Amino acid sequence: MAGLADFGALFPMKTKSLLWLILLGLSGLACQSSLLIDLIAIPGDVLYRDDFSTTSGPWPVGDFPGGLSAYREDAYLVQLDVSGRQFLATSKQIYRDVVVEVDVRQTAGKPANLFGLICRYLDERNYYFFVIAGDGYFGLGKMQDGQAVLLGQTQMSYSRDIRPDGVNRLTFSCASSTLTGSINGQIVALAEDVDFPSGDAGFVVTTLEDGGLVVYFDNFLVTHP
């Protein structure tokens, strides 16, 4: 059981209580070699990729209290059955400057829940995030000491670029102190922060409302900016 990571207080319009988070996909011992590759990479170099067509990746699989994760339909499925739950999964690597991308689609559950990308993940209480909701809102920020803070915006913002009933290609660039979030090729969020210079990359799913949330991830890609 993890400590309290307060996404709920960050988005008061979407929840009335704090979230006790169940976190999976802890970083473990990351490969130092990946950081070395990052240091000598040139722009566009692929640092990690997974299309989830095989089950050999580092992503957790199985039932857990309040949900499950699995490889399904050549993609990676995360299902959260109750409110106030969060799932984290990472590539088990260490990176410095990266561009993280993924295709994501919500197939069940209420729209006012969050899912997206993370970078510079140190542990379950410290990382940067770029998330969207099925109702068209997005947020870029950081989880620091278990408290979520938006960066470059005062509240969740609406974007017409989000496809509520389709696949959304999310891109999260973490380059030096600059954080940039894009949705389907359109830059929607930009911020500066220096607290986390390196860390892992992956994705996050959070239920702010009722459970029954099902999200599919595909074509996960980490490149050098």
d(CA 35, CA 29): 13
Within-domain flag for 71: yes
Q: Which residue has the higher pLDDT, 150 or 15?
A: 150
Asked whether residue 86 carries a pLDDT value surpassing 70, the answer given is yes
DSSP secondary structure of 99-112: EEEEEEEEEES-SS
Query: Is 80 exceeded by the pLDDT of residue 220?
Result: yes
Q: Find the radius of gyration of the CA atoms of the chain.
A: 16
How many domains would you assign to the chain?
1
225 pLDDT higher than 80:
yes
Residue of 189, 217, 213, 225 whose CA lies nearest to 53: 217
Residue 82 lies in a domain: yes
pLDDT band at residue 30 using 50, 70 and 90 as cut-offs = very low
Please tell me the pTM assigned to this model.
0.86
Domain that holds residue 99: 7-223
Distance (Å, rounded) from C-alpha 223 to C-alpha 201?
A: 11
Quote the pLDDT of residue 27.
35
> Which domain CATH number covers 200?
2.60.120.560
The answer to whether residue 204 sits within a structural domain is yes
Q: How far apart are CA 184 and CA 163, in angstroms?
A: 9
32 domain residue, yes or no: yes
In a domain, 65, yes or no: yes
Whether residue 1 lies inside any domain: the answer is no
- Between the CA of residue 101 and those of 14, 47, 48, 210, what are the distances in Å? 26, 12, 11, 27
Q: In this structure, is residue 127 part of a structural domain?
A: yes
Q: Collapsing DSSP states into helix, strand and coil, what is residue 116?
A: strand
CA dist., res. 200 & res. 212, Å (int): 28
Residue 216 structure tokens: 């599919």
| pLDDT value for 17 | 30
With cut-offs at 50, 70 and 90, classify the pLDDT of residue 8: low
Asked whether residue 2 is domain-assigned, the answer is no
